[in-house]
Amino acid sequence: MQARQIHEANGQRTFALVLDPGDEVMASLERFAADERVAAAQITAIGAFARATLAFWDGAKKEYLEIPVEEVTEVVAMLGDVSVTEDGKPKLHLHAVLGRRDGSTLGGHLLKGTVEPTLEVVLTESPAHLRRVHDPEKGLPLIRL
């Protein structure tokens, strides 16, 4: 992964990141956020995956239903945020729309994505920290403002 800070003003940094073939998106971005001590940020990206795992939140069961994507797809849109968990570690929450060869799309919560050939990411840090706290009623770690 290549990364470069491309802007900084008033406590807000913006980074451009280019992931390489074979990079796993979630692990790469979480490692970057930890290394740069990013506690709150927005993420957007485009590129392609060799394979991915999306998910759909089943509120009744309080669990994600996995959607394996075992084909090359275009990352038509990926967006989300970085926050920190109760123990101070970076937590990504990303959604993706993946385009298939025939033009159809799949979308959902991104659990995994293996880059092929590239993923171009813009990460814009916020000067305020966002903290995720587990909500037992919903069964999810939710941002608390």
Kindly give the confidence (pLDDT) of every residue in the chain, 145 residues in length, as a single tens digit, with 9 standing for 90 and above: 999 999 998 878 999 999 999 999 999 999 999 999 998 999 999 999 999 999 999 999 999 999 999 999 999 999 999 998 888 899 999 999 999 999 999 999 999 999 999 999 999 998 776 677 888 888 888 877 7
DSSP 20: P
What is the spatial distance between Cα 47 and Cα 129, in angstroms, rounded to a whole number? 28
Q: Which of 103, 98, 54 is nearest to 73 (CA)?
A: 98
Task: Tell me, yes or no, if the pTM score tops 0.85.
Answer: yes
State residue 108's pLDDT score.
Answer: 98
- Is the CB of residue 91 less than 8 Å from the CB of residue 109? no
Beta bridge partners of 143: 132
Q: Output the CATH code of domain 2-129.
A: 3.30.1330.80
Where do the structural domains in the chain lie, given as residue ranges? 2-129
State residue 62's pLDDT score.
Answer: 93
Helix (H, G, I), strand (E, B) or coil at 11: coil
Helix (H, G, I), strand (E, B) or coil at 32: helix
Q: Which of 58, 1, 29 is nearest to 123 (CA)?
A: 29
Q: How many helices (H) and strands (E) does the chain have?
A: 1, 9
- Is the CB of residue 20 less than 8 Å from the CB of residue 105? no
